[in-house]
A = this chain, B = another copy of it.
Amino acid sequence: MPQHRYLLTEDKIPKRWYNIAADLPTPMPPPLAPDGSPLQPEMMTAIFPMELILQEVSQERWITIPDPVREIYALWRPTPLHRAAGFERALGTDCKIFYKYEGVSPAGSHKPNTSVPQAYYNAQAGVRRLATETGAGQWGSSLALACELFGLECKVYMVRVSYDSKPYRRVMIETWGGECVASPSRETNAGRAILAEHPDSTGSLGIAISEAVEDAATREDTNYALGSVLNHVLLHQTVVGQEAVEQMQMAGAQPDVVVGCVGGGSNFSGLAFPFLAQKFAGADIRVVAAEPASCPSLTRGVYGYDFGDTAGMTPLLPMHSLGHSFVPPSIHSGGLRYHGMAPLVSHLVHTGMVEARAYRQLDCFEQAVAFGRAEGIIPAPEASHAIRGVVDEVERAREEGVSKTILFNLCGHGNFDMSAYQQYLSGEMIDSDFSQDELDHATAELAQMPALPA
């Protein structure tokens, strides 16, 4: 019988996170204060604990994972590496396809890999409460779980349109003891200002971030937590790739291509960074980031300084951006609906270490259904972009007459996304592309920002 899953025992949960900043062939531009001046650490201490700030700026290659964090990781880690034998057969390819499956976490995705250490460091620092934003709810539920496990309160500002139309992630947050409010809310100045102007606002991730940051900045007992984009978040996700390196060795295989989907960049980085370390050392590995065609920050966005949120409250980050006022269309991959991209991922794409591709929603769902029928697991819509990227690689291999080994991150299951599958199966799913007007708008908006260092 061919082997399907490669499992590691609990003692193989990584003991350290891998900090790719230590190995970058060229240095990253620094973040700036909102007014363009150098960013002072004090601007961060109001909303983050010192340990996370130190990780954000660290140049150390390895950062020790605290035992209490590893102990909670052990509830679901190490996660399995699967050989996608059924999907290979369905595609009729002689490429070898492997996937790391992060959907086995209690929240159903990779997000708890960072919510757990973030809650831990905040609890250690004496913080009593965390505030955050969430779109479809993957991140909000993961933070609620982590807060519950470390005895913190958790307040989640959930984008109104998701709060109303997808209530089950909200119930999950509440089941884990978190408090969830629709954003814009009447609980913050930011929320009230929006509601005064737009009483029927359906909200956006940008507005919800503003509310959560304001909550954290104005309450002594509260800090803020972010589920992607920042260096320390991507750092925490590297447990995924470190395990995968070991599991690929168990399988006697070495990936020619590593693929992940990108929104803010965290699941992609988690798998890819440990393999990029091999690439920096000379290994022949291609790394591909797959993003939605309707929110294509890497393939169509501008590389420059931009705000992380819509209201311009965050530092300026060096990243590929569609402009901080860009509101992505309501595709089902809520986790990929972000105007910017993690600075680390942007830098790696800018320097040619990572390739980026954009895929349309309908094409992604077509492959997600094919994958679910062949492998059993119904993928999260976000992960379907990675699957579409894999199929692309399989097609290229066929054209080139070669066989490749392809590894991708199946970052979550689709149990909370069945309404999206219903739309797809009934032929009612619509698609949208990024327009020239939107590109012009992004270009104009980024042109007003400080320039990147040469």
Interface residues of A (CB under 8 A from B): 1-5, 7, 9-10, 67, 70-71, 74-76, 82, 86, 104-108, 145, 148-149, 167-168, 171-172, 174-177, 369, 372-373, 375-378, 415-416, 418-419, 421-422, 425
Contacts and interface: CB of A to CB of B under 8 A. Distances in A.
Contact of A376 (B7, B76, B168, B174): B76
Contact of A418 (B86, B171, B376): B171
Nearest to A7: B7
A416 B172 CA distance: 11
**Which of A9, A175, A176, A416 has the largest count of B CB atoms less than 10 A from its CB?**
A175
A106 B148 contact: no
Contacts of A369: 175
Contacts of A75: 4-5, 82, 86, 375-377
A145 to B, nearest CB: 6
A168 B71 contact: no
A167 B67 CA distance: 42
A106 B376 contact: yes
A108 B415 contact: yes
**Which of A4, A177, A416 has the largest count of B CB atoms less than 10 A from its CB?**
A4
Given A176-B373, A372-B176, A377-B106, A4 B74 contact: yes
A376 B149 contact: yes
Contact of A425 (B67, B145, B174, B377): B174
A421 B372 CA distance: 27
A151 to B, nearest CB: 11
A315 B70 CA distance: 54
A426 to B, nearest CB: 9
B1 A175 contact: no
A431 to B, nearest CB: 19
A217 B378 CA distance: 32
B425 A175 contact: yes
Given A4-B75, A5-B10, A71-B4, A177 B415 contact: no
Q: Return the 3 tightest CB-CB contacts between A and B, nearest first.
A: A106-B376, A168-B418, A415-B415
